[in-house]
C-alpha cells in the first residue's frame, strides 16, 4: 500500500477492504469496510477528507440505494458515514450530503523544550499561544486571520520540530460568518512536495477539526497566559492557495 501511495503521489491515498461478510440485504446492518490512509511517505492514523471521499465513492458506486450509512474500521476506531438531507436553505437536488462522526482529539501537556522557535519556524510570526495535540501536532494560535493568510513557513524548521506537523490558526474577523481560519503544514509525511515540486497549496486536514474542539481544554503550553485560546468549531472555510505555500 505504501508503494502505491508513493506512486500516486497525492496528499493521502485511502485503501478499502470489505469487512462485513458482503451482505447487501436491506435488513443488514450498515456495511463495514476496513480503511487505512497513506501519504507518499508514511501511514497516518486519521484523515478526514480521504474518509469523506471513500464514503462518497461507496455511496455512489458500490453500495445499494437503501444503504444510508457505512462503517469504517480504522486504527483510530470505528467511524460512521451517513447520508443526510441538505441543510436548511441549501438546494439538495442532484447532490449527496454526507455526515462523518469523528472523535475529538484532546490536548496534552508539553514541555517548553518540545516547542520550536515560532518566529524562526513561521518566518517572523508571533504566537499568541501554542498547544500540542494527542495526535502529535503543534497548534499555533496567531492574532488574526490576516497573519494566518500571510504566513510563509520555514519548511526546513518544521521538519526539525518535535511535532507531527504544525497547524496555525487565528480568529476570523467579526461579521465574516466564520469562527477561525487555519492552515496546516506537515512535510514529514510527504505532504509538502508533489511530483518533485513545492506545491502551491498546503493540505487542509479534515481531521484538524477534531483537534480544534479541544481548544479550551486548558491543557496546553502558552507563550502568554494573558491571551487565552480563541478557537472555535464550525463553520470553516477553505481559502485560496497562497504563493509559497
Angle (CA) 73 75 77, round 5°: 55
213 is catalytic: no
Angle (CA) 239 209 232, round 5°: 85
> Which contacts qualify for 40-43: CB closer than 8 Å, 24 or more apart?
40/5, 40/6, 40/8, 40/9, 40/10, 40/190, 41/6, 41/188, 41/189, 41/190, 42/2, 42/188, 42/189, 42/190, 43/1, 43/2
Cα torsion 200, 48, 63, 69: sign:
negative
Q: State the Cα–Cα distance between residues 245 and 242, nearest whole angstrom.
A: 5
**Given 7, 12, 114, 157, the catalytic residue:** 12
DSSP secondary structure code for residue 113 in this structure:
G
Cα torsion 47, 219, 99, 77: sign:
positive
The Cα-based distances of 233 to 156, 172, 217 in angstroms read 30, 12, 13
Which active-site residues does the annotation give? 12
Amino acid at each position: 500500500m505504501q508503494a502505491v501511495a508513493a506512486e500516486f503521489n497525492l496528499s493521502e491515498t485511502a485503501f478499502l477492504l470489505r469487512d462485513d461478510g458482503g451482505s447487501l440485504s436491506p435488513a443488514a446492518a450498515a456495511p463495514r469496510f476496513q480503511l487505512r490512509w497513506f501519504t507518499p511517505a508514511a501511514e497516518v492514523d486519521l484523515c478526514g477528507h480521504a474518509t469523506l471521499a471513500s464514503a462518497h465513492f461507496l455511496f455512489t458506486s458500490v453500495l445499494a440505494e437503501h444503504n444510508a450509512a457505512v462503517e469504517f474500521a480504522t486504527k483510530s476506531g470505528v467511524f460512521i458515514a451517513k447520508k443526510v438531507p441538505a441543510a436548511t436553505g441549501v438546494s439538495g437536488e442532484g447532490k449527496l450530503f454526507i455526515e462523518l462522526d469523528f472523535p475529538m482529539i484532546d490536548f496534552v501537556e508539553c514541555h517548553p523544550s518540545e516547542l520550536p522557535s515560532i518566529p524562526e519556524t513561521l518566518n517572523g510570526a508571533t504566537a499568541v499561544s501554542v498547544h500540542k495535540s494527542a495526535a502529535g501536532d503543534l497548534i499555533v494560535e496567531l492574532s488574526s486571520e490576516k497573519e494566518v493568510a500571510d504566513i510563509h513557513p520555514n519548511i526546513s524548521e518544521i521538519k526539525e520540530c518535535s511535532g507531527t506537523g504544525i497547524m496555525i490558526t487565528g480568529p476570523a474577523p467579526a461579521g465574516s460568518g466564520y469562527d477561525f481560519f487555519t492552515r496546516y503544514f506537515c512535510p514529514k509525511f510527504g505532504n509538502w512536495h508533489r511530483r518533485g515540486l513545492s506545491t502551491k497549496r498546503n493540505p487542509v486536514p479534515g481531521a484538524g477539526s477534531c483537534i480544534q474542539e479541544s481548544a479550551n481544554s486548558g491543557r496546553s503550553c502558552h507563550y502568554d497566559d494573558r491571551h487565552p485560546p480563541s478557537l472555535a468549531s464550525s463553520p470553516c472555510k477553505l481559502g485560496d492557495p497562497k504563493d509559497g505555500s
